[in-house]
Amino acid sequence: MARCAEEALLAAIDLYNKPLVSYREQTLALLLVNAWEILLKARIVQCNGNDLAAIYPREGRRFKRNADGSHRTIGLQQATAKTPIGPAIRHSLEGLLLVRNQAAHAGELSDDLRQTVHAFGTAAIQNFVTCADKWFGLPVRMPYLLPVGFLTDEGPAQTAGNATQRLLLRRLQELAATRVNDDSEFAITLHLDVRLNPDLSGGGSIGVTADPNAPKVRLTGGKLLEKYSATYDDVVSECRRQIPGFKKSKHFNAAMRKVKKEPDCAYERRLNPRTSKGGVKWFYDPETTLARLEKELRGNSA
């Protein structure tokens, strides 16, 4: 069953990535919902000793059947209720269900709604890849293939033009804005921007940013500590070594407060990552932190 779910996922990506196919967003939602439904059913069967009866709904003591006499199986919402998945995946799938159920009757979708569907679809695909590997040891054959937006307008996105689209967009935006604290591996929405730059001759850069529309790159705890390798005492020692006449003054303390607000400089690590309570420890990128401190302290009697 898990392999069938993978096939549905790849079909969703393949069809969505064809720029001349109309009805792309609705098709993406339809096939992704189908892929997730099959994946969750496979997980339920797996957790019940590979007994297919685990996904057959009952009517009294009998299994429900379709008109042709075959066994009826549970739908996506029943499958999510039977599977221990976190809120990020639930909200992501809820958004896709809204698109599947409502966008089919909304006419041609506006740019802002298309972009929002793209963000939900991208997250659902990435979440699927993670779950398939964790549950079944199934590496999806194209694990980094995500849907391409083909949205090339330079200006602001157009607002949905009818009541159905406005209502759908507002509900999707509410879901996307939901705060979840216990799903570090998963996301409700992800943004993937593809831009052509004829002036780009090579190189490029990557950094930490708070921009919610930036492409997402997930770092593990070990990778984070490779980047943010310096403690507060390390920063002070390096300042003493490289900044003439350095002192731990009020100017330095003010500069450190600014550094902590810069995601490219500082990383706050909770002693217990599963709760917002408890102590924290700050780690710093030595290069960017020192450069920022030198800039802040220049001209001050630090």
* Contact indicator for 100, 157 with CB cutoff of 8 Å: no
Q: State yes or no: pLDDT of 257 exceeds 50.
A: yes
List all residues 6 or more positions away from 100 whose beta carbon is below 8 Å from its beta carbon: 26, 29, 30, 33
Mean pLDDT of the chain: 79
Q: First and final CA of the chain: distance in angstroms?
A: 65
Q: State yes or no: pLDDT of 106 exceeds 70.
A: no
- Averaged over 38-55, what is the pLDDT? 92
- Give DSSP secondary structure letters for 238-276: HHHHHSTT----HHHHHHHHHHHT-TTTEEEEESSTT-S
pLDDT of 86 reads: 86
Q: State yes or no: pLDDT of 120 exceeds 80.
A: yes
**Degrees to nearest 5, angle at CA 218 with 214 and 223:** 125
- Ordered alpha helix ranges (H), 17-110: 24-47, 76-82, 87-102
Q: State yes or no: pLDDT of 146 exceeds 70.
A: no
* Contact indicator for 28, 15 with CB cutoff of 8 Å: yes
* Contact indicator for 192, 215 with CB cutoff of 8 Å: yes
Token readout for 254 is 């003010």
pTM of the model: 0.60
- Averaged over 137-156, what is the pLDDT? 57
Angle between helix 232-242 and helix 250-260 axes, rounded to 10 deg: 130
Distance in angstroms (rounded) separating the CA atoms of residues 241 and 115: 50
Q: State yes or no: pLDDT of 192 exceeds 70.
A: no
For 61-84, how does the pLDDT look when each residue is reduced to its tens digit (9 = 90+)?
Answer: 888 888 887 888 888 888 998 998
**Using 50, 70 and 90 to split pLDDT, how confident is the model at 31?**
very high
For 273-285, how does the pLDDT look when each residue is reduced to its tens digit (9 = 90+)?
Answer: 555 555 678 889 8
Distance in angstroms (rounded) separating the CA atoms of residues 61 and 67: 19
pLDDT of 294 reads: 87
pLDDT of 154 reads: 43
For 196-254, how does the pLDDT look when each residue is reduced to its tens digit (9 = 90+)?
Answer: 455 544 444 555 555 556 555 544 555 666 788 888 888 998 888 888 888 888 888 88
Distance in angstroms (rounded) separating the CA atoms of residues 265 and 288: 6
